Amino acid sequence: MSGSLEQAHAWLAQDPDPHTRAELAELISSAEGGDAAAEADLDDRFAGRLAFGTAGLRGRLGAGSNRMNRVLVAQAAAGLAAYVRERAGADAEPTVVIGYDGRRNSDVFARDSAEIFAGAGIRALLLPRLLPTPVLAFAVRHLGADAGVMVTASHNPPNDNGYKVYLGGAEDGAQIVPPADADIAARIQRVADEADAPAIPRSAGYETAPESVIDAYVAATAAVAPAPPGAEGLSWAYTAMHGVGWETLERILDAAGYPAPTLVEAQIAPDGAFPTVAFPNPEEPGAMDLAFETARQSGAELVIANDPDADRLAVALPDETADGGWRRLTGNEIGLLLGWRAAQLASLSGGAKAAAEGSDEAEGSEDDREPQDAAPKPSLACSLVSSPGLQTIAEHYGLDFHATLTGFKWISRAPGMVFGFEEALGYLVNPETVRDKDGISAAIAMLGLVADARGRGATLGDLLHEFEQIFGFFASDQISVRVDDLSIIGRIMAGLREQHPSHLADIPVTRVDDLLEGVDDLPPGDVLRLWLEDGSRVIVRPSGTEPKLKAYLDVRGDSADDARARIGALAASVRTLLDDHS
C-alpha cells in the first residue's frame, strides 16, 4: 500500500464529516482499483500539511491534510486553545471570540471551533450569525478577548476556505505575527501527530455573543463620517459580491444619514457559490461588470463594492474613455484619497502638533517632572509596495510615515497610525476601533469624501485632480509572472541579486535594497527594492499566496501625461528584465 493510501485510511478513521468521508472513501476505492488519477489526487491531498502561518490557514475544501476540512480545523482549534491557555496563565479563564462568513462550511468550522475552545476550558463566544471580518476584528477588542478566529477565505476562489487568527491583550486585536504563528503551529502539529480528532475534548457550553457587539460596531463605524449636507440626493450603486457586507453596511448607512444605494440585486445576498463571477474579487476583470451595468441604468455617481468578507473596498466612477463607461480606481488612488482625508483630520485635531510638543506643556520644571514615554507622533502607514504618495501627504501635514511589509498584521502595528492602507484594496481608517483592514468603515469614509465634495459642487473625479495639483502626479503599475515551476522564481531573484540592472527605461538605478539583509528596521524578507535617479521605484518579490513573481512600479511625473508615459516605459523595461532572468 502506498504512503498516501495509508494516510488516507488513517484520515478516514478520524473524519467526522460525512461528505468528506464519502469523498475520500471513493478516492481510496478507485486508487486501490488501479485508477492513476485517483492515486495522483490522493498524493496531492496528503503530500504535506496545509501550513499554518501569519495568515492562519487557507486552502481548498476537501478531505486530506493538504485541504481545509473539519479534521484540520479541529486540530487548529485545539492547538490554538493550548496556546491561548498557556499565554493567559494557569489561573485565568481566557476568552476567544469566533466569527464566520457565508462560504461553504464556514458556519460548521466556526461551531466546531467554539465547541473545542469550550472543551478546553476557554470562554468561547460565537458571533450570532454570518458577519463581516471587520466585525470579528472589532469584537476581539470590544470584548477584551484573548484571541479571535474568523472563518473566511476572503476573496479566494469559491472552493476555498480559511482560518484567520487575531490576538488580544498587548496585541490589541491585530492579526498574528512571528513568533506567535510558529508557536501556534507547533501546538497544532502536536495535536495532529496524535491523529485522533474525535478524542479532542468538546463542549456545547459555548456562548452566543450578544447583539450589543454588532450594535457597538455599527455605532462606531457610523461615527467615522456622519453624512454632511452634500450627501442629500447622492446616487450610488453597491455590490456585496455575494458576500456578507450588506446587512451591516445598511444599518451603518441609516445611522450615519446616507441615502440608500441602488443594489446589485444578483450579488447582494450571501452565496458561497458566487454564481455571477468567475472570481469573487473586485480587482479581477469582469467582477464588477454587473455593478457597472446597475450604475449605468440608475445614473449613479459612483460604485462601491466590498469583497465577500467585506474587509476590502473597491470604488469606480463614470469615465467615458473606459470600456463600459466606468473606471475602477486603483487601490493606490483610493488609498491616497483616504490618506489625504486622514491627514487633514489629524491636522485639524491638532494631533500632530500636540504629539510633536510632547510634554512641553506639562506643569513644573524639567527637573520636577517624572520621566514619561512620549506618545507616538500621528502617522500614516502603508505596505512598502503601495504608493509612495502617502509619504508625500504625511510630510505635507507634518505627520510621521511608516512603510511596512505587506499585510495588515504589519501595517496595524505602525506607531501612532491614524490611517493605513495596502494597494490590494485594503484600508484602515479607524485604528482606534478595528486593528485590521475594514472595507465597511472605508466605504463610509469614501462616502463622506464624496458628499463633502458634492457640497461644494465637485465630483470624485475632481477630488483626484485636486489631489494631483497639491501633491503631484503619481502613477503605479504591477507586473506578475506566473510560473508552473517555483524554481523559476528563485532563479530570477538570485539572478537579480547577483547582477543588479544599471538602468531601467534608460534611467540609472542608483540604489538597490535587499530586504534579506535587513533594511529600514523591516523584518527580513525576500524582497528587492530598486531606486532610480528620477525618483522612480521598482519592488520585486515572490507572491506569498500564488505561484507568481510580482513587480510593483511607482513613478512621479510633472503632469498626468508625463506620469503615464514614465510608468509605461518603466513597465516595458521591467518586463524585459524579468524575461532575461527567467
Residue 154: CB partners within 8 Å, gap ≥ 6?
133, 162, 307, 308, 309, 311, 312
CB 278 within 8 A of CB 286: yes
List active site positions: 154
Decide: helix, strand or coil at residue 316.
strand
Residues facing residue 540 across a β-bridge: 528, 551
CB 458 within 8 A of CB 301: no
Q: What CA–CA distance (Å, rounded) separates 181 from 145? A: 18
Residue 160: CB partners within 8 Å, gap ≥ 6?
58, 59, 60, 61, 68, 103, 153
CB 386 within 8 A of CB 414: no
Q: What CA–CA distance (Å, rounded) separates 420 from 471? A: 18
**Alpha-helix runs per DSSP H in 223-265:** 245-256
CB 423 within 8 A of CB 390: no
The number of helix segments (H) and strand segments (E) in the chain equals 18, 22
Strand ranges, E, within 371-468: 379-383, 400-404, 417-422, 426-428
Q: What CA–CA distance (Å, rounded) separates 129 from 100? A: 8
CB 414 within 8 A of CB 445: no
Query: Which residue matches cell numbers 482560518?
Result: 163
Q: What CA–CA distance (Å, rounded) separates 457 from 463? A: 11
Q: What CA–CA distance (Å, rounded) separates 477 from 551? A: 8
Q: What CA–CA distance (Å, rounded) separates 349 from 354? A: 9
SS3 track for 449-498: HHHHHHHCCCCHHHHHHHHHHHHCEEEEEEEEEECCCCHHHHHHHHHHHH
- The continuous run of DSSP H or E covering 124 comes out as strand 123-126
CA distances from 320 to 51, 104, 325, 400, 562 (A): 46, 39, 5, 38, 21
Query: Which residue matches cell numbers 485604528?
Result: 431
**Alpha-helix runs per DSSP H in 349-388:** 351-357
Query: Which residue matches cell numbers 463600459?
Result: 324
- Dihedral (CA of 438, 441, 443, 446) sign: negative
Asked if the peptide bond before residue 378 counts as cis, ω within 30 degrees of 0, the response is no
Residue 18: CB partners within 8 Å, gap ≥ 6?
none
